[in-house]
Structure formats: C-alpha cells, structure tokens
Amino acid sequence: MNNLFNNKVNRKNTNTYKWDFQTNSDNLPFWIADSDYKTAPCVIEELQEVSKFGVYGYNQVPDKFKEVICSWYKKRYNADLNKEWIIPTTGVILEIRLMLEILTNKGDGVILQTPVYHTFHHVINGMERKIIENKLIKKHDTYIMDYDNLENLFKQGYKVMILCSPHNPVGRIWTKEEIEKVISLAKKYNVFVIIDEIHSDLNITNTKFTSGADFISMYDNIVLCNAPSKAFNLAGLCTSYIIIPNEKYRELFNKQVDREFLNSPTVFGYSATIAAYSNGYDWINAQNEHIKNNYLYLKEYLNKELPNLIVTKLEGTYLVWLDLSYTNLSTEELLDKCNNAGITCSGGVNFCQDYESYLRFNIACPFEQLEEGLKRLVKAFK
C-alpha cells in the first residue's frame, strides 16, 4: 500500500492553492497543510458512485454520518461518543468562530498556546477579541505546556481556551496526563475548552492519541472540532463536525447555525466521510507509516547537512517545525532564501511573533518530492 503515497500526482494548473497560488508557481510547495497523493481508494470509489447518480439536489445528512464518527472514535481512540452530541458543519474554523460568538463578547480574551495555527489568530482578531498567550515551553527539540502560567490566566478571569491537539505546528501529541491537567484546571476555574482535533489520525508514534472525549464525564464544558480533511485530504469537500456534549451549548450552536443560514455538508462531503470512516482504517495506518519514513529521512538528512538546524520532534500531524535560529534571519529573509532555492514553506511569525527564525515544512508528499525539496532547502542555507 505504501506505493500509493509515492505515486506522483500533477496538481499544477488545477486551481490548487498549494501549487498554483505560491509567490513562484514553479516552486515545490511545502506550506499549505494538505497532502500531495491521492486519498484512500474507498473514498474515491464512493465519490465516483455518487457522481454517477447524476442528481445533486438538496440532501439531508444521514444518520450514518454520526454513526461512523462514533465508531471511528471508539475504534481509533477508544473514546465513547453519543451521536446526539454530533453536529455536521462545513469547517472546523467555522465551528470555532460560532463557539466564540456564543461564549465571548468583543474585547474578551481567548487563550492560545503559541506558537499555534495562524488561522486561530485571524479568527480571534477578526472578531475583535483579544489573543491571550499561554506560550509553550521549548525543550530543545520538543515542547511542553506551561501549567503555572495557564492557571494564572484562568485566575485572572479568562474564560475560553483553544487547545490544539495534536498541536500544529510543534507536532506534539499531548499525553493523557497533559490533557487531564488542562481539563482539571479548566473545571476548577470554570473555563470553556474548545479542542481542535483535526490532526488526530496523523500519529507516527506508538502512543494512542487521547481525545478530549475521555474527559466529558469529568467536565462537559468542552467541545471537540474535527474533520476527515487532514487525514484523508478532503478539505475541498468542506465537511467537518463538532461534538458538543453539553445540551445547553448544543442548542445555542444550532440556533447560531440557523441564524446565519449555514448549510450542512454536501452529498459528496458526507458520503466521503462515511466511506473514509467505514473503510479507511488500514489506509490511515499506511499513510502514517509513510509520513514516519519521510520524517526520519528528513531528520537524518538535515542533521547531517545542516547540523545547527534543530528538527523538532514529530509525534502528530505531517508538519515539521524547523528551528533556524542559528541563522539570525527574520522570517521574511528565510522565506526569500527558500523562494530563491525553489521551495515554498510557512514562516514562523505566522504562528507567533517570537518565532522569526522558524519554518513549518509539510512532508505529506511522495518521497521523491521530499528528497528534492530537502536538497533545495540545504542549498538555501548551507
């Protein structure tokens, strides 16, 4: 099955954001978080059947959509869900925005553990809320949470936190003990926790991913935001789901959806999700093995060719966080060097102003593409 991930797919000139909307369209792209190989065969086959039907009118998301999500959470994470908690939507960021509308007012603070996914910053700023940083602590090639500062922020009265789990861009899969400590503090100070689990299936370790669902019986002021879009490369189908165990907040969320006339996923989106979660288990495992092999090659190659560069330890996601602090270059200067060498990466300041000399590098691609991209990266900085 690993050959599926090394088959090249020509995505140029297909209106693909990652390839066609770079500064230089001839670059090899390692920035946008999608993958450069085909999705699972079971998904492709299902979409072909839906397409053949030929009628694409108004559709209701079937009950099976929720049923396969419950089964997936149980099989992959040993987490128990009630299907009544699940609401289909068209995007995780949309879910987070709607929850912030419910939970906060203009001027309120929202806690982020930086460096973190840049779109969280855009949403909070765009809603005229304040970003309150609970900065992660860097420990050479990995990161840990600063619980003392987190508790201090809770004491100050900040009532909403976004937890990125697994964490983008530092690649941590938080342990059960780490998440439990966050939830215990949240319960102590009555803080609402929005957990983004969109990378939950991308796990190259032998450690089980711990879902926030494990702690619902302990504290139900939690919502889980997820989608098959990262693991199965389905972002273009605009299909996601939010898990809201608290009935009060579930009703408020549904009212918010109705108020804004937000549509449910399309027939293509929910059909792909059902196929992926019904028959894509082995494919995900094979993809994780491919990502692991790509990461190990990247780490060995860069340790040899650029020994001063620190490759952050990757546990989850397919996004490698590269520390080029030794160069003393700004993000803009790093990206210019990359562009001149023929590659596109994501710059560190997108994720936190403290990370000028960092790059995020996407390794969800065929090995041949990765190998050439790393040669260009080394050329840029050696």
Task: Count CB atoms within 10 A of the CB of residue 133.
Answer: 18
Cα–Cα distance measured from residue 183 to residue 93, given in angstroms and rounded to the nearest whole number: 22
Q: pLDDT per residue over 52-68, tens digit each?
A: 999 999 999 999 999 99
- Four-way CATH pick for 45-279: 3.40.190.290, 3.30.565.10, 3.40.640.10, 3.40.50.1460: 3.40.640.10
The 3-state DSSP class for residue 22 equals coil
| Domain residue limits, the chain | 2-40+281-381, 45-279
Cα–Cα distance measured from residue 350 to residue 118, given in angstroms and rounded to the nearest whole number: 5
Q: pLDDT per residue over 253-308, tens digit each?
A: 999 999 999 989 999 999 999 999 999 999 999 999 999 999 999 999 999 999 99
pLDDT exceeds cutoff 70 at 1: no
Confidence label for 206 from pLDDT (cuts 50, 70 and 90):
confident
Q: What average pLDDT score do residues 187-197 get?
A: 98
Q: How many whole angstroms from its chain centre is CA 66?
A: 21
pLDDT exceeds cutoff 70 at 363: yes
Contact 172, 163 (CB under 8 A): no
pLDDT exceeds cutoff 90 at 227: yes
Cα–Cα distance measured from residue 246 to residue 175, given in angstroms and rounded to the nearest whole number: 24
Q: What average pLDDT score do residues 30-47 get?
A: 98
What percent of the chain has a predicted confidence (pLDDT) above 90? Answer: 96
Cα–Cα distance measured from residue 159 to residue 215, given in angstroms and rounded to the nearest whole number: 18
Phi, psi of 261 (to 5 degrees): 50, 45
Question: According to the model, what pLDDT value does residue 25 have?
Answer: 85
Confidence label for 2 from pLDDT (cuts 50, 70 and 90):
low
1 compared with 33, residue with greater pLDDT = 33
DSSP secondary structure string, 169-199? TT-----HHHHHHHHHHHHHHT-EEEEE-TT
Question: According to the model, what pLDDT value does residue 3 have?
Answer: 80
Please give the radius of gyration of the chain, using alpha carbons only, rounded to the nearest integer: 20
Q: pLDDT per residue over 316-351, tens digit each?
A: 999 999 999 999 999 999 999 999 999 999 999 999
Are 2-40+281-381 and 45-279 in the same CATH fold?
Answer: no
Q: Which of 295, 340, 333, 331 is nearest to 313 (CA)?
A: 295
CATH code of domain 2-40+281-381: 3.90.1150.10
The 3-state DSSP class for residue 227 equals coil
The 3-state DSSP class for residue 251 equals helix
DSSP secondary structure string, 64-79? HHHHHHHHHHHHHH--
Q: Which residue type does 197 have? A: E
Mean of the per-residue pLDDT values of the chain: 97
Confidence label for 76 from pLDDT (cuts 50, 70 and 90):
very high
